[in-house]
Every structure is written in C-alpha cells, then in structure tokens.
Amino acid sequence: MGIVPLAKALELAQEYDLDLVEVAANARPPVCKLMDYGKFKYESAMKAREARKNQAHTVIKEMKLRPKIDPHDYDTKKGHVVRFLKQGDKVKITIMFRGREQSRPELGYRLLQRLAEDVQDLGFVESNPKQDGRNMIMVLGPHKKKTEAMAEARQAQEARKAEAKANPGRSQNPAEAEASAEEPAEA
C-alpha cells in the first residue's frame, strides 16, 4: 500500500478485521503488515512442531566387550551393534581389561578391528581404538543419518500396517500363524 500514516493503517486493520503487525521496526519508515496474528502464531507453532517431529537426537549407544570373548557372545554383541547402526545411532565400543589382560592390549585392538571390518557396510570408524586406563575405546558412526533411518523405519511400519489391513485373517506374528496352522480343526 506504500507509505501510510499510522492512524490510517490502524483504520484499515479495523476495517478488514485484521491485526497491524510491525515486521521491520528498524527500517525507515517502519514496515508493517495487515494479517491475522492469531492464525500466524498457530501456523508457526505447527511448523515448529513438525520440525521437532522430524528432528533426530544424536544418541551414543555403548557396547562393552572383554578381550577373551566367546564367538557366540561376540556374534550377539555384534548383532546389537548392527541394530544400533541401522537405527542411525553412534556406537561406543569399550573393551574392559582385567588383571593380566592389561599387559596384552593388542588382543583388544585386534577385536575392535575385527568388529569394525564386520560392520563396515553399516558404519565407519569415527574414533580409532585408544587405550584409556583399563579400557580401550572405539566409536563407530553410521553411514545413514538418524533422520533417514527413522524415515525408513516409519515407511516399513506403514507397509506392515497396510499389509495387515489387506490380509485381516493373517496373524502379525509368524510363530502364532504356525501354531494355529498345526492345531486340528474342530468338527
């Protein structure tokens, strides 16, 4: 509308049943806008809420190992590390040395290197193994960002829900489906 006196601007705002909002106070002359301020605040709050919903917090999960770990225990711990990396979380791997094990830090180093090689398709070594007192620590970071992992998980969940709606007679749990298939039908 161009440069308008303050009284006329207030009169226009009342006429259109809108609010006169100062946009740039430091400009000469000050810049104002006619708008529904309540609606504007509501929309900005909704945008902020949506941004928070998609925001991901960086989480560092920790996995503790011992130098003389059993192969099956190693596989279990590696499975947890894989799950954490797939979820987009960083993983701090700690190897705890006790007693005489402290004189053999190369065992822990080799174990950390082996773990890093086993999960290299999901993550990378963010911080190389280093001795910290009785512990040796290494940090693995995921290749995917947390937001990407969350989006994939959401899509997979929606796909499962859609499949459940499409096949209402089928059970979600495969073990339950097998158990019901093995039971004889009543006559």
- What crossing angle do the helices spanning 71-86 and 105-118 adopt, rounded to 10°? 50
From first to last of the 187 residues of the chain, give the pLDDT tens digit.
788 888 898 898 899 999 998 888 888 888 999 999 999 999 999 999 888 877 767 789 999 999 999 999 999 999 999 999 988 899 999 999 999 998 999 999 999 999 999 999 999 999 999 998 899 999 999 987 877 877 888 888 898 998 888 887 665 555 555 555 555 555 4
Could you tell me the CA-to-CA distances from 78 to 45, 116, 127, 180, 185 in Å, in that order? 42, 10, 18, 34, 43
Distance of CA 34 to the CA centre of its chain: 40
Q: Output the CA angle 14-17-20, nearest 5 degrees.
A: 65
In the chain the domains, ranked by start, together with CATH numbers, are 6-54 (3.10.20.80), 60-142 (3.30.110.10)
Alpha carbons 23 and 14: distance in angstroms, whole number:
18
Q: Of 82, 62, 77, which Cα lies nearest the Cα of 122?
A: 82
